[in-house]
Structure 1
Amino acid sequence: MENNSCVAPQYMVAKVLPPVMIVEFLLGLPGNVMALWIFCFRLQGWRTTTIYLLNLMLADFLLLAGLPFRIDNHMRGENWIFGEAMCRINLFMLAVNRSASISFMTIVALDRYFKVVHPHHTVSLMSARQAVTVVAVVWPVVFLLRSPLLFNKLLWKEGNNTLCRSFSSKENLTVGLKIHYVLYMAEFFVPFFVLVFCAVRIIYTLRRAGKGRRMNIHRAVRAVLIIVVVFTVCFLPGVATGLATLLVGKLHPEDCKSYLLAGEIFVLTLGFTYLNSALDPLIYCISSSMFREALKKSVPAVSVFSIRERRNDSIASNG
């Protein structure tokens, strides 16, 4: 390990982020364990949507497995004690979670879009087996795109601290880390515009639909809108502050203090990114009627929500 220019421990992050991450872990773990149990033991048959949602949940477990190491790292004042290999694996798992979560959120929204707007399209008529094929393509692509994190130096010595970061200095970036930076931005903007397009088109179809189709389309609208909300809340803050940090580094290359402050704010916003594991169970419930029914049978208290949902659907279909 060697000293890197304009790098320092992030003491504000070390104080603020651990409690936030602990809460997110405690919320995300039971929700996803319950979802795993329902997917594995309570669902009666499989549809394309439930297959995509299962893989969204598996992506969340990558985050939940890596989060305790980040919590420990920040609680030690950002001092990584687990070695270079674990540093790379940990950051790789967190990055794969982000990429896979974005991928499967987008796929679920597209699945809804085609079934509502183009019900006779080949995509709308896909079988569960074909959905498994889609999943089998997505995971290797995600692993391949995030693989630079496994083959680049991510551990830096700064004073008495050993820093484990995938975003570090504004200088001396390898090709692999440049790819990581570009992908971090691109995998937000492209899916975001796809999600917004899907939401607008489904809402437009709802307005023109007859009463017979309105209930199903209304559910699709809710499913896509909750995905857009979760996507925006979890990923926009990190992208916005990441871009701001890059701009500070480019426009004021001599101002290391401002760059470090911007970088610290960026890392703080990653708390929103980690929130996706706690919010994704909302997507499971709203996007899949099969999941909702299985959850209702497993957790009686959910029946109250189900009754209210049917009333709202009835009102919407008659409106």
Structure 2
Amino acid sequence: MTNSSLSCPVYNVLKPFPYFFYLVFLVGIIGSCFAAWTFKQNTINQKCISIYLINLLTADFLLTLALPVKITVDLGVAPWKLRIFHCQVTACLIYINMYLSIIFLAFVSIDRCLQLTHSYKIYRIQEPGFAKMISTVVWLMILLIMVPNIMLPIKHIDEKPNVGCMEFKQELGRNWHLLTNFLSLAIFLNFSVIILISNCLVIRQLYKNKDNENYPNVKRALINILLVTGAYVICFVPYHIVRIPYTLSQTEVITDCPTRISLFKAKEATLLLAVSNLCFDPILYYHLSQSFRLKFTETFTSNTEMKTKEEKSSCEDKE
């Protein structure tokens, strides 16, 4: 693999990706900080959907910790130890965020489906206690799959350019990396089916109520569904189309150099889409959480009113 990395400079084609990752980081950290402040103001009478959104926000903060390191490494200005740290730790945090986001978006879709279809037979699923329990189980499951990639020992490699993270892994680490990819793909496929079924049931229910007097509420619910589905498809589907062939190029099942370079470019481009969920999530919070929406409106309405009063007072002073 080391000889191959010298003859095929796969990892020299990173630009301009770091600059786009930096833009995602800036937009995402602002939105996530505001969302955290908003949710902190409303800690009483939490609903299931708020619990899932708070867990989604927590996963987003893991991503904000990882992105600055990835950007520094991809720009080629990181010291050697930081590059090793990225391969061992921060790259793993990116994937932890990705699959937590997929699962909690599925839970959000399920909760919306149960609310609109009034499925009282399984009402206990909509209790906050159940939401907290299942969220804990999800975190433990994802960490159990991903954390061994951090903990397993790595090989010592002399400092050199054009090194991929796979080159640091010993045989056990490579095998676990492959297993992690297939488990992650299974998570993606299963929860994609859940999102698809939930949203189809909701759309059918909304179609039945299209002639009701509550049409504005129906329309708002439909917009929420389209937002969740659209964000999910844009962020995560392209990455998982590319992931398996890229993994095969990492393990040198695919050895053709131009193909490996093309797959690496495709992986970085689709990974950029995947981490862009950091920017989409605050929009979801606004549309899916009433407490978040009220706090957001209250904050910016009060700021606008204060500016208006200041402008009026300044005009009066001039007169």
Tell me the TM-score normalised to structure 1 length: 0.81
What pairs with 1:54-65 in structure 2 (closer than 5 Å)? 54-65=54-65
Is 1:279 matched up with 2:280? yes
Q: Deviations over 1:137-182 (max 9, x none)?
A: 111111112123113467785872273536999x997331111221
Q: State the distance in 1 between where 2:107 and 2:186 align.
A: 16
Q: State the distance in 1 between where 2:41 and 2:52 align.
A: 17
TM-fit CA distance, 1:28: 0.3
- Is the CA contact 1:149–1:176 (under 8 Å) kept in the aligned structure 2? yes
Whichever residue aligns with residue 238 of structure 2, its letter is P
The answer to which of 209-218 and 144-153 deviates more is 209-218
TM-fit CA distance, 1:249: 8.2
Q: Deviations over 1:50-100 (max 9, x none)?
A: 111011001000000110000000111787531645531212211111111
1:316 aligned partner = none
Whichever residue aligns with residue 74 of structure 1, its letter is D
**What percent identity do the matched residue pairs reach?**
22
Report SS of the residue matched to 1:10: helix
Structure 1 residues 55 and 250: CA distance shift in structure 2, 3 A: closer
Q: State the distance in 2 between where 1:290 and 1:187 align.
A: 30
Structure 1 residues 154 and 98: CA distance shift in structure 2, 3 A: farther
Is 1:199 matched up with 2:199? yes
Structure possessing the higher radius of gyration over alpha carbons: 2
Report SS of the residue matched to 2:179: helix
Q: Which runs of 5+ in 2 are unaligned?
A: 305-319
Structure 1 residues 106 and 80: CA distance shift in structure 2, 3 A: farther
Structure 1 residues 248 and 216: CA distance shift in structure 2, 3 A: same
1:235 aligned partner = 236
Q: State the distance in 2 between where 1:160 and 1:249 align.
A: 18
What pairs with 1:121-200 in structure 2 (closer than 5 Å)? 121-123=121-123, 126-152=126-152, 157=157, 160-161=160-161, 163=163, 165=165, 174-200=174-200
Between structures 1 and 2, the one with greater helix share: 2
Q: Deviations over 1:214-253 (max 9, x none)?
A: 5544433322221111111111221122244357789984
1:309 aligned partner = none
CA-atom RMSD in angstroms: 3.2
Q: Deviations over 1:78-126 (max 9, x none)?
A: 8753164553121221111111111111100111112222431324663
- Is the CA contact 1:285–1:291 (under 8 Å) kept in the aligned structure 2? yes
2:119 aligned partner = 119
Q: Which runs of 5+ in 1 are unaligned?
A: 304-319
Report SS of the residue matched to 2:97: helix
Q: State the distance in 2 between where 1:82 and 1:250 align.
A: 23
TM-fit CA distance, 1:189: 2.2
Q: Deviations over 1:250-287 (max 9, x none)?
A: 99844233223222321232111111111101111111
- Is the CA contact 1:102–1:191 (under 8 Å) kept in the aligned structure 2? yes
Whichever residue aligns with residue 151 of structure 2, its letter is F
Q: State the distance in 1 between where 2:223 and 2:303 align.
A: 18
Q: State the distance in 1 between where 2:167 and 2:292 align.
A: 38
TM-fit CA distance, 1:48: 0.9
1:19 aligned partner = 19
2:257 aligned partner = 256
Structure 1 residues 53 and 89: CA distance shift in structure 2, 3 A: same
Report SS of the residue matched to 1:121: helix
- Is the CA contact 2:111–2:126 (under 8 Å) kept in the aligned structure 1? no
Structure 1 residues 145 and 252: CA distance shift in structure 2, 3 A: closer
Q: State the distance in 1 between where 2:258 and 2:172 align.
A: 18
Q: State the distance in 1 between where 2:219 and 2:303 align.
A: 20
Structure 1 residues 63 and 246: CA distance shift in structure 2, 3 A: closer
